[in-house]
C-alpha cells in the first residue's frame, strides 16, 4: 500500500485539512512555503489519465476551496497548482495528487525555464496533436 493510501486509511498521521468521499487534503510535511497543501484523489491511480472524471472534478473543487482559504486565512497573494504526472515529470509518489503552493510576491521561488519554438516547430506539433 502506498504512503498516500496509508495516510487516507489513517495508518499514518497527517495534518488533515479537508476530506470528502473522493479527495483527502492535508498539509505537506516538507512545504515549499508554509501552508503548502496536497490534494490527494482517494482512489489509488498513478496519474491524471487513469483518474475518473468525477475524481478529477472533486480534486479541482477542493483546490478551489483550499486555495481561497490559503489567500483569505493565511494572507498569501496567490498560489500555484501543480500536478507532477509520472516520474519523468517529478512525481515521487505514484498516486495522483496536486500541490497547492502558497505564493508571495518576493518569495524567490522560480519554476521552469521557457524557450521559443524553432521555425515551423509549433505547426508540426499542432499537426501531430490534431492527427
Please identify every residue annotated as catalytic. Answer: 97
Take residue 17 and report the three cell numbers written for it.
485539512
CA distances from 71 to 13, 15, 75, 85, 115 (A): 26, 19, 5, 26, 31
Sign of the dihedral defined by the CA atoms of residues 120, 123, 125, 128, in that order: negative
DSSP state, 117?
Answer: P
Q: Are 112 and 90 in contact (CB under 8 A)?
A: no
Residue 41, judged by CB atoms within 10 A of its CB (0-12, 13-18, 19+), counts as: buried
Amino acid at each position: 500500500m502506498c504512503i498516500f493510501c496509508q495516510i487516507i486509511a489513517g495508518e499514518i498521521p497527517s495534518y488533515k485539512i479537508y476530506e470528502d468521499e473522493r479527495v483527502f487534503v492535508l498539509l505537506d510535511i516538507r512545504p515549499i512555503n508554509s501552508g503548502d497543501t496536497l490534494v490527494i484523489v482517494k482512489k489509488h491511480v498513478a496519474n491524471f489519465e487513469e483518474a475518473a472524471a468525477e475524481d478529477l472534478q472533486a480534486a479541482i473543487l477542493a483546490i478551489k476551496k483550499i486555495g481561497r482559504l490559503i489567500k483569505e486565512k493565511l494572507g498569501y497573494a496567490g498560489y500555484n497548482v501543480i500536478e507532477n504526472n509520472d516520474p519523468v515529470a517529478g512525481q515521487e509518489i505514484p498516486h495522483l495528487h496536486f500541490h497547492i503552493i502558497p505564493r508571495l510576491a518576493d518569495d524567490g521561488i522560480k519554476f521552469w525555464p521557457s524557450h521559443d519554438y524553432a521555425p515551423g516547430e509549433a505547426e508540426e506539433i499542432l499537426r501531430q496533436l490534431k492527427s
